Structure 1
Amino acid sequence: MKIQKQMSESMMLAVVLAIAGGFMDTYSYICRGGVFANAETGNIVLMAINLSNNHISKALQYLIPITAFALGVVVSEIIRLKNNEQGMFHWRQISLLIEIIALVISAFMPQSMNLIVNSLISFTCGTQVATFAKFNGYGMATTMCTGNLRSGTQSICQYFIHKDKNQLQKAFSYYGCIAFFILGAVIGKYTSDIYNEKAILVASSMLLIAFVMMFVSGKK
């Protein structure tokens, strides 16, 4: 029996989003001041270090992308709660459009505005994490790897202990997401070297592909 499944939870879409996620992290590091804008753990630690050293103004600089990430989560949740699924677009597509616009704006900002650019990328990642939290029935992130590495490794252990092939498939899904994140990072490195600030348009194009893909209904 064929069961209707949202394309927004398919592994095919996870692949596209993971490539975009890896690209954004590499771009922010290479082109925008040597920072990783996707996950906020580093920013929180650096903010705490500067607070402990009484460098208040510098600590507040790290608070901006942290707040932007949280704002992205808030925006995603508002869109989800307010959307009645009766319009032309799925609520997740609306979130993607906002992400695309944020990245396109980033492409035309100079180096003097790196803090704003990294905040826009953090906002995009917060929106993406909150909007696309599950693929193929598995909780999975496409803008960071730590959780996927943990879950994939746990599944491998479960497979060797219980010989459950479903756990092996689950592990491949998590490790596959990490692999495509790495691919996105590699693409980000080479395109950033060539196109500099404008390279982020590649990531926005990947999100546009994801947007178009969601017009197709998945089948399980």
Structure 2
Amino acid sequence: MIEPVKQIIEDEHYGEDSLLVGVLASACVGILDSGCYVTRGKVFASSQTGNLLYLGIDISNGDFSQILKYTFPVLLFVIGVVLGTHFQMHDKRKGWRIAPALCEIVLIIIASLLPLSWNALANPLFGLVCGMQAIAFRRIHHIPLATVYLNGNLREAVERLVKYIHLKDNDDLYRFILSVILVFVFLVSVTIGAFLSRLIGHYVTLIAAVCLSIDVYFLYKAKKSA
């Protein structure tokens, strides 16, 4: 266990692909998900599977009043993926993720300041943010790991642990530790977001903008030192 941990610490020099950047991005999504769910009508910011689940259940119950509530966040998430891919394809320079991250920050601030009566607009905007992040923040130490999809990281953690038990390859243990860290950070940030929602209401999602702002600082710093 010690050797992979030492390697993770040494590999933090990757800068824009650092674990710190990934942790902050994952915390951002956890705050958004819990904030939206608790304060804005039980709609998820990143978990479009959950939104589609609610939509399907409502349809099966003959309740068609919630179709737009759950459909628009999914559609805006898709558009976010398109925009994130556009940034990735048209800017091959180091630090390309700064632009989509800044867009995400602006969108989070706008959506967070919208009153609860405007949830029909705020929730899709958060979905747009998470769609962009699904492309912009999905590598840690040059390894494909998501800061948006919890299921993928959970699967990766279990798969790598099983492989390590059988093959004793430190690379599998290395990836297991990274995946577990992201899952843990997401869980903690969701818990914190839900708790703070009771204190500051829907403004809790502004904390996600703070997390991404710190990420932008690190991304810019890595770009300047390249």
**TM-score past 0.5 threshold:** yes
Give CA deviations for 1:46-97 in whole Å, capped at 9, x if unaligned.
Answer: 3334445565553233221110000111111122223353xxx932110001
Is contact 1:151-1:174 (8 Å) kept? yes
Aligned partner letter, 2:16: S
Provide the rounded CA distance (Å) in 1 between the counterparts of 2:63 and 2:193: 33
How far apart, in 1, do the equivalents of 2:61 and 2:192 lie? 38
- Of the three residues 6, 10, 13, the one matched with 2:21 is 13
Contact 1:93 1:211 in 2 (8 A): yes
Deviations 1:120-174 (A, max 9, x none): 1111111001111221132211123111000100000001001112211110100
Q: Describe the superposition over 1:99-123 as per-residue Cα deviations: whole angstroms up to 9, x where unpaired.
A: 0011101121111111211111111
Corresponding position of 2:99? 94
What is the CA–CA distance in structure 1 between the aligned matches of 2:82 and 2:65, rounded to whole Å?
26
Match of 1:119 in 2: 124
Quick one: distance in 2 between partners of 1:37 and 1:101? 16
Label 1:201 to 1:12 Cα distance change in 2 as closer, same or farther (>3 A). Answer: same
- Which of the residues 199, 215, 220 maps onto 1:215? 220
- Judged with a 3 Å threshold, the aligned counterparts in structure 2 of structure 1 residues 217 and 4 are, in CA distance, closer, same or farther, namely farther
1:211 positional shift: 0.4
**Shift in CA distance, 13/47, structure 1 to aligned 2, threshold 3 Å:** same
Distance (whole Å) between structure 1 residues aligned to residue 11 and residue 162 of structure 2: 30
Aligned 8 A contact 2:31 2:204 in 1: no
Tell me the residue number matched to 1:82. 90
SS of the counterpart of 1:102? helix
Tell me which amino acid in the other structure corresponds to 1:59: I
Residue 155 (str. 1) matches residue 160 (str. 2): yes
**Equivalent position SS for 2:221:** coil
Give CA-to-partner distance per residue, 1:9-64, whole Å, 9 cap, x none: 21111111111111111101111112222111122233334445565553233221
Contact 1:10 1:136 (C-alpha < 8 Å) held by counterparts: yes
Q: Where is the helix percentage greater, Structure 1 or Structure 2? A: 2
How many residue pairs match? The answer is 215
Q: Does structure 1 residue 103 correspond to structure 2 residue 111?
A: no
Contact 1:46 1:59 in 2 (8 A): no
Corresponding residue for 2:40? 32
Unaligned runs of 5+ residues in structure 1 are none
Aligned to 2:182: 177
Q: Which runs of 5+ in 2 are unaligned?
A: 1-9
State the SS of the aligned residue for 2:220.
coil
Q: Hey, what does 2:195 align to over in structure 1?
A: 190
Partner of 1:64: 72
Q: Which amino acid aligns with 1:60?
A: L
Q: CA RMSD in A?
A: 2.4
TM superposition score normalised by structure 1: 0.88
Aligned residue number for residue 48 of structure 1: 56
| In 1: Cα distance, 2:67 partner to 2:106 partner | 28
